[in-house]
Amino acid sequence: MPGPGSRVPPLCIGSSSRQWYDPPVAFVRRDPLQDLLALQRRMNRLSTGPTGWSPAVDVLETPDSYVIMMELPGLSQDDVQLQHHEGRLTITGVRRERESPCEQFHRIERGHGGFSRTFQLPMPVQGERITADLRDGVLTVTCPKATDGGTRRIQID
């Protein structure tokens, strides 16, 4: 019997050829989603296209307007531009990379660089009455629907 601290010889299997194998190894359970996300991060680092990010957006419709809410924490009014042309609303901007007096980052999750989002609105809107408000890191754009002056509902008696 081997003493404490000595290595136990591996088990012998087979007949006369004396084949050896090591004791079983504990397997780590794989998470396919995490593997795909890690692969995507690696591919993004290799891409040669423009770097950027895509802010989260909610688009909702009220009876008289479309409302677009976009998360833009840390951006000012000067960092964002809006354009309305032929039924499309385009929001572009840039988040600058923050200068930090540190030697090494341990994690960077907040995107930086330029972004552009274009929304095709399903109905015509009154372009001259579009309003935008940037408050508490949320840009709220209200696009009033165009009212068709030639159409009205007729009550049947």
Q: How many structural domains does the chain have?
A: 2
Rg (C-alpha) for the chain, rounded Å, is 30
Spatial distance between the Cα atoms of 79 and 90, rounded to a whole number of angstroms? 14
Tokens linked to 140: 């709220």
Spatial distance between the Cα atoms of 127 and 121, rounded to a whole number of angstroms? 11
Give me the pLDDT at residue 6, please: 55
Query: Is there a single domain that holds both residue 66 and residue 119?
Result: yes
Query: Is there a single domain that holds both residue 32 and residue 77?
Result: no
Query: Is there a single domain that holds both residue 80 and residue 39?
Result: no
In one-letter notation, the amino acid at residue 11 is L
Mean pLDDT per 10-residue run, the chain (157 residues)?
A: 56 55 70 81 66 84 94 91 90 82 73 86 88 94 80 54
Give me the pLDDT at residue 119, please: 92
Closest CA to 65 of 124, 23, 20, 7: 124
Question: Quick check: is 155 in a domain?
Answer: no
Give me the pLDDT at residue 4, please: 59
Question: Quick check: is 152 in a domain?
Answer: no
Question: Quick check: is 106 in a domain?
Answer: no
Query: Is there a single domain that holds both residue 140 and residue 67?
Result: yes
Give me the pLDDT at residue 80, please: 93
Contact 110, 120 (CB under 8 A): no
Query: Is there a single domain that holds both residue 122 and residue 84?
Result: yes
Domain of 136, in residue numbers: 57-97+111-144
Question: Quick check: is 74 in a domain?
Answer: yes
